[in-house]
Amino acid sequence: MTERDGTAAERDGDGDRHRVELRWRGGGTETVRAAAAESVLEAAERADIGLPFGCRTGACATCTGRLLSGKIEHEREPRALKTDSLADGYVLLCIARPKTDCRIEVGTDVHSDLVTNPWK
């Protein structure tokens, strides 16, 4: 497990930051600190962690993750997720802001859970 908090200046005044653990199904975990005003995707990018993304507006679902623990809030309606997917814990990392410390499953395999492949 790796924790990437950014610069020392970013670590100061940590009161409004939440610890976000990113877990890949194939193995590997990294942890970032997300400020109240940034999305999980933005926090990961600041720490040089590559996550899949597309539109950055919650419309395409390329950045889908699955919340394992903690609480997030979407900054706008997650148009790419159906109600049942939201109920199952799926989140859109481009518009998801952590409200508590979180553990989130990430990667293209998570997005594949929501899409039926017609060629399989």
pLDDT band at 114 (very low <50, low <70, confident <90, very high): confident
Count of residues in the chain: 120
Quick: pLDDT tens for 61-74. 999 999 999 999 99
What fold characterizes domain 17-114?
Ubiquitin-like (UB roll) (3.10.20)
- Prediction pTM value: 0.85
**Which amino acid is residue 78, in one-letter code?**
P
Report CA-CA distances (Å) from 62 to 8, 35, 101.
Answer: 31, 22, 23
What are the domain boundaries of the chain?
A: 17-114
Determine contact, residues 113/74, Cβ cutoff 8 Å.
Answer: no
Token look-up 């507006």 returns: 57
pLDDT at 9 over 80: no
Quick: pLDDT tens for 21-60. 999 998 999 999 999 889 999 999 999 999 999 999 999 9
Burial class, 34, CB count within 10 angstroms (exposed 0-12 / middle 13-18 / buried 19+): buried
